[in-house]
Structure 1
Protein backbone atom coordinates (compact mmCIF):
# COMPACT_ATOMS: atom_id res chain seq x y z
CA UNK A 1 0.00 0.00 0.00
CA UNK A 2 1.28 3.46 -0.90
CA UNK A 3 1.54 6.37 1.54
CA UNK A 4 -1.56 7.87 -0.07
CA UNK A 5 -3.42 4.65 0.61
CA UNK A 6 -2.28 4.67 4.22
CA UNK A 7 -3.52 8.23 4.71
CA UNK A 8 -6.88 7.27 3.25
CA UNK A 9 -6.93 4.34 5.64
CA UNK A 10 -6.26 6.61 8.62
CA UNK A 11 -9.16 8.85 7.62
CA UNK A 12 -11.42 5.84 7.11
CA UNK A 13 -10.42 4.42 10.50
CA UNK A 14 -11.31 7.63 12.28
CA UNK A 15 -14.59 8.11 10.44
CA UNK A 16 -15.77 4.52 10.75
CA UNK A 17 -14.11 2.10 13.19
CA UNK A 18 -13.10 4.71 15.76
CA UNK A 19 -16.52 6.33 15.83
CA UNK A 20 -18.18 2.93 16.21
CA UNK A 21 -15.86 2.04 19.12
CA UNK A 22 -15.38 5.43 20.74
CA UNK A 23 -16.20 4.16 24.23
CA UNK A 24 -13.48 1.50 23.93
CA UNK A 25 -10.82 4.05 23.03
CA UNK A 26 -11.94 6.43 25.77
CA UNK A 27 -11.58 3.58 28.24
CA UNK A 28 -8.15 2.65 26.85
CA UNK A 29 -6.94 6.21 27.34
CA UNK A 30 -6.99 5.48 31.07
CA UNK A 31 -4.43 2.67 30.77
CA UNK A 32 -3.80 -0.79 29.39
CA UNK A 33 -4.23 -4.22 30.97
CA UNK A 34 -3.43 -6.91 28.38
CA UNK A 35 -3.04 -10.50 29.55
CA UNK A 36 -0.82 -11.62 26.66
CA UNK A 37 2.63 -10.63 25.43
CA UNK A 38 2.82 -11.55 21.73
CA UNK A 39 6.36 -11.76 20.34
CA UNK A 40 6.63 -12.10 16.59
CA UNK A 41 8.56 -11.16 13.47
CA UNK A 42 8.61 -7.75 11.81
CA UNK A 43 7.52 -9.42 8.54
CA UNK A 44 4.65 -7.47 6.95
CA UNK A 45 2.72 -10.67 6.25
CA UNK A 46 1.97 -11.42 9.89
CA UNK A 47 -0.50 -9.30 11.85
CA UNK A 48 -0.95 -10.45 15.48
CA UNK A 49 -4.29 -8.73 15.98
CA UNK A 50 -5.64 -9.99 12.68
CA UNK A 51 -4.77 -13.66 13.16
CA UNK A 52 -5.97 -13.67 16.78
CA UNK A 53 -8.90 -11.30 16.19
CA UNK A 54 -7.75 -9.35 19.26
CA UNK A 55 -9.18 -5.92 19.95
CA UNK A 56 -7.12 -2.82 20.81
CA UNK A 57 -5.70 -3.15 24.31
CA UNK A 58 -5.76 -6.97 24.39
CA UNK A 59 -2.21 -7.73 23.16
CA UNK A 60 1.14 -6.30 24.20
CA UNK A 61 3.16 -6.81 21.02
CA UNK A 62 6.91 -7.00 20.48
CA UNK A 63 8.34 -7.41 16.98
CA UNK A 64 11.82 -7.70 15.49
CA UNK A 65 13.66 -9.50 12.70
CA UNK A 66 13.14 -13.23 13.24
CA UNK A 67 11.08 -12.95 16.46
CA UNK A 68 14.34 -13.27 18.40
CA UNK A 69 14.69 -12.76 22.14
CA UNK A 70 18.34 -12.62 23.23
CA UNK A 71 19.05 -14.45 26.47
CA UNK A 72 19.14 -12.42 29.68
CA UNK A 73 22.32 -10.39 29.98
CA UNK A 74 22.91 -10.42 26.22
CA UNK A 75 19.65 -8.64 25.46
CA UNK A 76 19.48 -5.22 23.92
CA UNK A 77 17.69 -2.56 25.92
CA UNK A 78 14.58 -2.82 23.73
CA UNK A 79 13.87 -6.53 24.18
CA UNK A 80 14.79 -6.69 27.86
CA UNK A 81 12.83 -3.53 28.68
CA UNK A 82 9.75 -4.75 26.82
CA UNK A 83 9.77 -8.11 28.58
CA UNK A 84 10.39 -6.58 31.99
CA UNK A 85 7.58 -4.07 31.54
CA UNK A 86 5.13 -6.70 30.30
CA UNK A 87 5.81 -9.11 33.16
CA UNK A 88 6.37 -6.71 36.05
CA UNK A 89 4.20 -3.68 35.25
CA UNK A 90 1.37 -5.24 33.25
CA UNK A 91 1.22 -8.60 35.01
CA UNK A 92 1.16 -10.57 31.76
CA UNK A 93 -0.18 -14.10 32.24
CA UNK A 94 0.82 -15.66 28.90
CA UNK A 95 3.73 -15.09 26.53
CA UNK A 96 3.45 -16.28 22.94
CA UNK A 97 6.44 -16.53 20.63
CA UNK A 98 5.01 -16.77 17.12
CA UNK A 99 7.18 -17.48 14.10
CA UNK A 100 5.88 -17.87 10.58
CA UNK A 101 6.37 -19.79 7.35
CA UNK A 102 8.74 -18.47 4.66
CA UNK A 103 10.65 -16.40 7.23
CA UNK A 104 13.34 -14.34 5.50
CA UNK A 105 15.40 -14.11 8.69
CA UNK A 106 15.62 -17.90 8.93
CA UNK A 107 16.48 -18.16 5.24
CA UNK A 108 19.30 -15.73 5.95
CA UNK A 109 20.41 -17.68 9.01
CA UNK A 110 20.79 -20.85 6.94
CA UNK A 111 23.00 -18.91 4.51
CA UNK A 112 24.59 -16.59 7.04
CA UNK A 113 27.85 -16.08 5.15
CA UNK A 114 26.14 -14.33 2.25
CA UNK A 115 24.72 -11.55 4.46
CA UNK A 116 27.92 -10.05 5.83
CA UNK A 117 28.64 -7.69 2.93
CA UNK A 118 25.14 -6.72 1.75
CA UNK A 119 23.34 -6.45 5.11
CA UNK A 120 25.95 -6.20 7.88
CA UNK A 121 23.45 -5.19 10.58
CA UNK A 122 21.20 -8.15 9.79
CA UNK A 123 24.26 -10.41 9.70
CA UNK A 124 25.37 -9.18 13.12
CA UNK A 125 21.89 -9.63 14.64
CA UNK A 126 21.50 -13.18 13.36
CA UNK A 127 25.11 -14.17 14.06
CA UNK A 128 24.94 -12.99 17.67
CA UNK A 129 21.46 -14.24 18.51
CA UNK A 130 20.66 -16.96 15.97
CA UNK A 131 23.75 -19.12 16.26
CA UNK A 132 22.17 -21.61 18.68
CA UNK A 133 19.35 -22.27 16.23
CA UNK A 134 21.74 -22.52 13.28
CA UNK A 135 23.98 -25.05 15.02
CA UNK A 136 21.10 -27.26 16.14
CA UNK A 137 19.78 -27.38 12.58
CA UNK A 138 23.22 -27.85 11.02
CA UNK A 139 24.33 -30.59 13.39
CA UNK A 140 21.10 -32.58 13.68
CA UNK A 141 19.25 -32.31 10.38
CA UNK A 142 21.86 -32.97 7.70
CA UNK A 143 20.69 -34.16 4.29
CA UNK A 144 17.17 -32.75 4.55
CA UNK A 145 15.78 -30.95 1.51
CA UNK A 146 15.97 -27.12 1.68
CA UNK A 147 12.23 -26.44 2.01
CA UNK A 148 11.81 -28.84 4.91
CA UNK A 149 15.06 -27.61 6.47
CA UNK A 150 13.72 -24.05 6.45
CA UNK A 151 10.56 -25.22 8.23
CA UNK A 152 12.66 -26.98 10.87
CA UNK A 153 14.80 -23.86 11.32
CA UNK A 154 11.70 -21.69 11.77
CA UNK A 155 10.26 -24.06 14.36
CA UNK A 156 13.58 -24.56 16.15
CA UNK A 157 14.09 -20.81 16.32
CA UNK A 158 10.73 -20.38 18.07
CA UNK A 159 11.73 -22.95 20.68
CA UNK A 160 15.14 -21.34 21.15
CA UNK A 161 13.40 -18.07 22.01
CA UNK A 162 11.24 -19.86 24.58
CA UNK A 163 14.43 -21.15 26.19
CA UNK A 164 15.91 -17.66 26.11
CA UNK A 165 12.82 -16.24 27.80
CA UNK A 166 13.33 -18.74 30.61
CA UNK A 167 16.68 -17.09 31.42
CA UNK A 168 14.96 -13.86 32.54
CA UNK A 169 14.73 -13.69 36.36
CA UNK A 170 11.26 -12.14 36.34
CA UNK A 171 9.97 -14.88 34.04
CA UNK A 172 11.65 -17.66 36.03
CA UNK A 173 9.98 -16.36 39.18
CA UNK A 174 6.52 -16.20 37.57
CA UNK A 175 6.92 -19.66 36.04
CA UNK A 176 7.95 -21.10 39.40
CA UNK A 177 4.90 -19.56 41.04
CA UNK A 178 2.58 -20.86 38.31
CA UNK A 179 1.58 -17.31 37.36
CA UNK A 180 2.86 -17.38 33.79
CA UNK A 181 2.69 -19.68 30.77
CA UNK A 182 4.91 -19.71 27.68
CA UNK A 183 3.55 -20.75 24.27
CA UNK A 184 5.35 -21.56 21.00
CA UNK A 185 3.26 -20.85 17.88
CA UNK A 186 3.93 -21.04 14.17
CA UNK A 187 1.74 -19.18 11.68
CA UNK A 188 1.47 -20.62 8.17
CA UNK A 189 0.92 -17.71 5.81
CA UNK A 190 -0.46 -19.62 2.85
CA UNK A 191 -3.19 -21.42 4.83
CA UNK A 192 -3.87 -18.93 7.64
CA UNK A 193 -3.30 -21.80 10.09
CA UNK A 194 -1.64 -21.55 13.49
CA UNK A 195 0.27 -24.47 15.00
CA UNK A 196 1.30 -24.79 18.66
CA UNK A 197 4.23 -26.82 19.96
CA UNK A 198 3.21 -29.90 21.90
CA UNK A 199 6.16 -31.00 24.05
CA UNK A 200 4.68 -34.45 24.62
CA UNK A 201 4.58 -35.10 20.87
CA UNK A 202 7.78 -33.14 20.14
CA UNK A 203 6.14 -31.31 17.27
CA UNK A 204 3.99 -28.37 16.30
CA UNK A 205 0.35 -29.38 16.06
CA UNK A 206 -2.74 -27.73 14.61
CA UNK A 207 -4.20 -25.44 17.23
CA UNK A 208 -7.99 -25.52 17.26
CA UNK A 209 -9.53 -25.15 20.71
CA UNK A 210 -6.42 -24.80 22.89
CA UNK A 211 -2.74 -24.01 22.95
CA UNK A 212 -0.12 -26.21 24.61
CA UNK A 213 1.79 -24.34 27.32
CA UNK A 214 5.47 -25.22 27.08
CA UNK A 215 6.74 -27.15 30.12
CA UNK A 216 9.73 -25.99 32.12
CA UNK A 217 12.38 -26.85 31.12
CA UNK A 218 11.61 -27.04 27.43
CA UNK A 219 12.73 -30.07 25.43
CA UNK A 220 13.62 -28.64 22.05
CA UNK A 221 14.10 -31.68 19.83
CA UNK A 222 11.71 -31.60 16.89
CA UNK A 223 10.71 -34.87 15.26
CA UNK A 224 11.88 -34.75 11.64
Structure 2
Protein backbone atom coordinates (compact mmCIF):
# COMPACT_ATOMS: atom_id res chain seq x y z
CA UNK A 1 0.00 0.00 0.00
CA UNK A 2 1.16 3.52 -0.81
CA UNK A 3 0.87 5.61 2.36
CA UNK A 4 -0.15 9.23 1.76
CA UNK A 5 -0.36 12.37 3.91
CA UNK A 6 -2.52 15.26 2.71
CA UNK A 7 -1.47 18.77 3.80
CA UNK A 8 -3.94 21.54 2.91
CA UNK A 9 -5.63 24.21 4.97
CA UNK A 10 -8.98 23.69 3.21
CA UNK A 11 -11.09 20.96 4.78
CA UNK A 12 -13.04 20.29 1.59
CA UNK A 13 -9.86 19.88 -0.45
CA UNK A 14 -8.47 17.37 2.04
CA UNK A 15 -11.74 15.49 2.08
CA UNK A 16 -11.86 15.34 -1.70
CA UNK A 17 -8.33 14.00 -2.07
CA UNK A 18 -8.91 11.60 0.84
CA UNK A 19 -11.94 10.11 -0.87
CA UNK A 20 -10.13 9.70 -4.20
CA UNK A 21 -7.06 8.07 -2.68
CA UNK A 22 -8.88 5.76 -0.28
CA UNK A 23 -11.09 4.62 -3.14
CA UNK A 24 -8.16 2.69 -4.65
CA UNK A 25 -6.79 -0.74 -3.79
CA UNK A 26 -3.16 0.36 -3.50
CA UNK A 27 -3.31 3.63 -1.52
CA UNK A 28 -4.28 4.70 1.96
CA UNK A 29 -4.33 8.11 3.64
CA UNK A 30 -2.41 7.83 6.91
CA UNK A 31 -2.68 11.45 8.02
CA UNK A 32 -3.87 14.98 7.29
CA UNK A 33 -2.50 18.40 8.17
CA UNK A 34 -3.99 21.89 8.03
CA UNK A 35 -0.70 23.82 8.04
CA UNK A 36 3.00 23.36 7.39
CA UNK A 37 4.04 22.81 11.00
CA UNK A 38 1.35 20.20 11.49
CA UNK A 39 2.47 18.56 8.25
CA UNK A 40 5.98 18.11 9.64
CA UNK A 41 4.56 16.50 12.79
CA UNK A 42 2.19 14.21 10.90
CA UNK A 43 4.87 13.13 8.42
CA UNK A 44 7.31 12.36 11.25
CA UNK A 45 4.66 10.33 13.06
CA UNK A 46 3.26 8.33 10.15
CA UNK A 47 6.17 7.79 7.78
CA UNK A 48 4.27 8.19 4.51
CA UNK A 49 5.53 7.35 1.05
CA UNK A 50 4.01 10.46 -0.53
CA UNK A 51 2.92 13.87 0.76
CA UNK A 52 0.41 16.02 -1.13
CA UNK A 53 1.49 19.52 -0.06
CA UNK A 54 -0.46 22.73 -0.56
CA UNK A 55 1.64 25.83 -1.13
CA UNK A 56 -0.19 28.45 0.90
CA UNK A 57 -0.89 27.40 4.46
CA UNK A 58 -0.82 29.25 7.81
CA UNK A 59 2.50 29.51 9.61
CA UNK A 60 5.09 27.43 7.77
CA UNK A 61 4.06 27.34 4.12
CA UNK A 62 4.24 24.30 1.85
CA UNK A 63 7.56 25.31 0.33
CA UNK A 64 9.37 25.51 3.66
CA UNK A 65 7.66 22.34 4.90
CA UNK A 66 8.81 20.55 1.76
CA UNK A 67 12.36 21.82 2.21
CA UNK A 68 12.47 20.54 5.79
CA UNK A 69 11.00 17.17 4.91
CA UNK A 70 13.42 16.59 2.05
CA UNK A 71 16.40 17.85 4.07
CA UNK A 72 15.74 15.08 6.58
CA UNK A 73 15.86 12.32 3.96
CA UNK A 74 18.15 11.11 1.19
CA UNK A 75 17.09 12.20 -2.32
CA UNK A 76 15.80 8.74 -3.24
CA UNK A 77 14.07 8.03 0.07
CA UNK A 78 10.41 8.66 0.93
CA UNK A 79 8.48 10.66 1.70
CA UNK A 80 8.31 12.23 -1.74
CA UNK A 81 6.42 15.51 -1.96
CA UNK A 82 3.95 16.57 -4.63
CA UNK A 83 3.24 20.30 -4.54
CA UNK A 84 -0.40 21.29 -5.05
CA UNK A 85 -0.88 24.59 -6.83
CA UNK A 86 -3.27 26.67 -8.92
CA UNK A 87 -2.52 28.95 -11.86
CA UNK A 88 -2.63 32.00 -9.61
CA UNK A 89 0.15 30.43 -7.50
CA UNK A 90 2.51 29.80 -10.41
CA UNK A 91 5.27 31.82 -8.78
CA UNK A 92 5.64 29.13 -6.11
CA UNK A 93 6.19 26.20 -8.44
CA UNK A 94 9.85 26.90 -9.17
CA UNK A 95 10.53 27.35 -5.45
CA UNK A 96 8.81 24.06 -4.76
CA UNK A 97 10.99 22.18 -7.20
CA UNK A 98 14.08 23.83 -5.77
CA UNK A 99 12.97 22.74 -2.30
CA UNK A 100 13.08 19.13 -3.44
CA UNK A 101 9.51 18.38 -4.47
CA UNK A 102 9.08 15.36 -6.73
CA UNK A 103 6.60 17.26 -8.86
CA UNK A 104 3.51 19.39 -8.79
CA UNK A 105 -0.14 19.20 -9.76
CA UNK A 106 -3.02 21.58 -10.14
CA UNK A 107 -5.64 21.19 -7.44
CA UNK A 108 -8.30 20.57 -10.05
CA UNK A 109 -6.34 17.79 -11.73
CA UNK A 110 -8.32 14.79 -12.95
CA UNK A 111 -8.67 11.89 -10.52
CA UNK A 112 -6.73 9.55 -12.78
CA UNK A 113 -3.84 11.98 -13.17
CA UNK A 114 -3.66 12.45 -9.39
CA UNK A 115 -3.52 8.70 -8.77
CA UNK A 116 -0.92 8.18 -11.48
CA UNK A 117 1.22 10.99 -10.06
CA UNK A 118 1.12 9.45 -6.58
CA UNK A 119 2.11 6.05 -7.94
CA UNK A 120 4.90 7.60 -10.00
CA UNK A 121 6.57 9.47 -7.16
CA UNK A 122 6.03 6.56 -4.75
CA UNK A 123 8.16 4.54 -7.14
CA UNK A 124 10.97 7.04 -6.78
CA UNK A 125 10.34 8.93 -9.99
CA UNK A 126 9.33 12.51 -10.71
CA UNK A 127 6.15 13.92 -12.15
CA UNK A 128 7.38 15.76 -15.24
CA UNK A 129 5.23 14.43 -18.05
CA UNK A 130 1.83 16.16 -17.71
CA UNK A 131 1.18 19.00 -20.12
CA UNK A 132 0.66 21.42 -17.26
CA UNK A 133 4.09 20.53 -15.86
CA UNK A 134 5.80 21.29 -19.14
CA UNK A 135 3.87 24.55 -19.49
CA UNK A 136 4.80 25.78 -16.03
CA UNK A 137 8.43 24.71 -16.39
CA UNK A 138 8.66 26.58 -19.69
CA UNK A 139 7.30 29.67 -17.96
CA UNK A 140 9.81 29.60 -15.15
CA UNK A 141 12.97 28.72 -17.03
CA UNK A 142 12.72 32.08 -18.78
CA UNK A 143 12.96 34.02 -15.52
CA UNK A 144 14.15 31.70 -12.77
CA UNK A 145 17.78 31.36 -11.65
CA UNK A 146 19.79 28.32 -12.66
CA UNK A 147 18.94 25.59 -10.18
CA UNK A 148 22.41 24.03 -10.12
CA UNK A 149 25.85 24.55 -11.58
CA UNK A 150 25.79 22.36 -14.66
CA UNK A 151 28.61 20.90 -16.71
CA UNK A 152 28.84 22.03 -20.33
CA UNK A 153 26.23 20.59 -22.63
CA UNK A 154 29.08 19.48 -24.85
CA UNK A 155 29.93 16.66 -22.45
CA UNK A 156 26.92 14.72 -23.73
CA UNK A 157 27.16 12.25 -26.58
CA UNK A 158 24.79 12.67 -29.52
CA UNK A 159 22.55 9.89 -28.18
CA UNK A 160 22.51 11.36 -24.68
CA UNK A 161 21.49 14.70 -26.13
CA UNK A 162 18.68 12.94 -28.02
CA UNK A 163 17.50 11.46 -24.73
CA UNK A 164 17.68 14.85 -23.01
CA UNK A 165 15.53 16.35 -25.75
CA UNK A 166 12.93 13.60 -25.27
CA UNK A 167 12.98 14.12 -21.49
CA UNK A 168 12.26 17.79 -22.13
CA UNK A 169 9.20 16.73 -24.12
CA UNK A 170 7.90 14.96 -21.01
CA UNK A 171 8.27 11.45 -22.43
CA UNK A 172 8.59 8.41 -20.18
CA UNK A 173 11.51 5.98 -20.55
CA UNK A 174 9.33 3.59 -22.55
CA UNK A 175 8.15 6.39 -24.83
CA UNK A 176 11.74 7.50 -25.38
CA UNK A 177 12.71 3.92 -26.18
CA UNK A 178 9.93 3.67 -28.75
CA UNK A 179 10.84 7.03 -30.29
CA UNK A 180 14.56 6.24 -30.59
CA UNK A 181 14.13 2.52 -31.38
CA UNK A 182 16.24 1.36 -28.44
CA UNK A 183 15.47 -0.69 -25.33
CA UNK A 184 14.02 0.83 -22.17
CA UNK A 185 17.07 -0.43 -20.26
CA UNK A 186 19.35 1.49 -22.60
CA UNK A 187 17.25 4.62 -22.08
CA UNK A 188 17.61 4.26 -18.29
CA UNK A 189 21.38 4.06 -18.70
CA UNK A 190 21.43 7.17 -20.88
CA UNK A 191 19.19 9.08 -18.45
CA UNK A 192 21.51 8.24 -15.55
CA UNK A 193 24.55 9.42 -17.53
CA UNK A 194 22.82 12.64 -18.58
CA UNK A 195 21.95 13.48 -14.98
CA UNK A 196 25.45 12.64 -13.77
CA UNK A 197 27.27 14.58 -16.48
CA UNK A 198 25.13 17.70 -16.06
CA UNK A 199 25.06 17.54 -12.26
CA UNK A 200 21.27 17.31 -12.18
CA UNK A 201 19.25 15.76 -9.38
CA UNK A 202 16.32 14.32 -11.32
CA UNK A 203 14.20 14.44 -14.48
CA UNK A 204 12.36 17.62 -13.53
CA UNK A 205 15.65 19.47 -13.25
CA UNK A 206 16.67 17.92 -16.56
CA UNK A 207 13.57 19.45 -18.16
CA UNK A 208 14.46 22.85 -16.70
CA UNK A 209 18.08 22.51 -17.80
CA UNK A 210 17.03 21.55 -21.32
CA UNK A 211 14.97 24.72 -21.65
CA UNK A 212 17.59 26.95 -20.02
CA UNK A 213 20.31 25.62 -22.30
CA UNK A 214 18.23 25.89 -25.47
CA UNK A 215 18.02 22.14 -26.08
CA UNK A 216 14.22 22.19 -25.93
Q: What TM-score results when the alignment is normalised by the length of structure 1?
A: 0.33
Q: Which has the larger radius of gyration?
A: 1
Higher relative contact order (CA 8 A, sep 6+): 1
Q: Specify which structure has the higher proportion of helix.
A: 2
